[in-house]
Structure 1
């Protein structure tokens, strides 16, 4: 349920949906974090949790 909602909210962007779900970031904040991480999800998650 939560995963489907996140996918719908992010326009079916899987990495973005995962980042939003795991970190609790807003969509735009998560999009910027993912961009800053060069598209690497693990790096974007790591930057948020540091």
Structure 2
């Protein structure tokens, strides 16, 4: 299993969700929502599904 990468302080799920709503770039909201899910405690697999990618 890959080593965990720490999350940045100063961000949380609500901030990332708000950014996802405002962005105009197509794939960026998926990436932001996947990160928001991780901040909320989702697994890597769950976040990958949200982001539209595989592990």
Normalised by the length of structure 2, the TM-score is 0.30
Larger radius of gyration: 2
Please identify which structure carries the higher helix content: 1
